[in-house]
């Protein structure tokens, strides 16, 4: 079974803090994604990566950056957390040969 593991289920951070969300997948997938999920808005793509050290902006990249130093790990960075970044963050990986994306359990981030 494909496994996508996010480092934290719940996080509480203060405004202005630098926040790191970590994601690891074990199926050697090239493509990895970070989404945020908000009620009524569904999943919105923040960033994605199709290879090590490669990244592309998604629909809402402002206030975020990413890092992919190893194929299995994709990190989302909030440079200076703000309250409007309170959300559920979902990491996913995808094999280019098939349509299915595999998701982690999500990290519920609260910025106070």
Partner 1 sequence: QKEVEQDPGPLSVPEGAIVSLNCTYSNSAFQYFMWYRQYSRKGPELLMYTYSSGNKEDGRFTAQVDKSSKYISLFIRDSQPSDSATYLCAMSVGDYKLSFGAGTTVTVRA
Binding site residues, partner 1, CB under 8 A:
4, 31, 33, 35, 39-45, 48, 58, 90, 92, 94-101, 103-106
Closer CB to partner 1, 14 or 99, in the complex: 99
Closest separation in Å from C-beta 64 to partner 1: 15
Closest separation in Å from C-beta 76 to partner 1: 15
Sheet with strand 4-6: strands edge to edge: 4-6, 19-25, 73-78, 64-70
User: Could you write out the three-class secondary structure of the chain?
Assistant: CCCEEECCCEEEECCCCCEEEEEEECCCCCEEEEEEEECCCEEEEEEEEEECCEEEECCCCCCEEEEEEECCEEEEEECCCCHHHCEEEEEEEECCCCCCEEECCCEEEEEC
Closest separation in Å from C-beta 44 to partner 1: 8
Closer CB to partner 1, 82 or 110, in the complex: 110
Closest separation in Å from C-beta 15 to partner 1: 25
Closer CB to partner 1, 39 or 84, in the complex: 39
Closer CB to partner 1, 80 or 95, in the complex: 95
């Amino acid at each position: 079974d494909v496994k996508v593991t996010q480092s934290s289920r719940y996080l509480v951070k203060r405004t202005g803090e630098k926040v790191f969300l970590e994601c690891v997948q074990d199926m050697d997938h090239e493509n990895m994604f970070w989404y945020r999920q908000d009620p009524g808005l569904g999943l919105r793509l923040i960033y994605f990566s199709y290879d090590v050290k490669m990244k592309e902006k998604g629909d809402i990249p402002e206030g975020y950056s990413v890092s992919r130093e190893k194929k299995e790990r994709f990190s989302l960075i909030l440079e200076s957390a703000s309250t409007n970044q309170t959300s559920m963050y979902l990491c996913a990986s995808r094999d280019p040969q098939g349509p299915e994306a595999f998701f982690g359990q999500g990290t519920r981030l609260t910025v106070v």
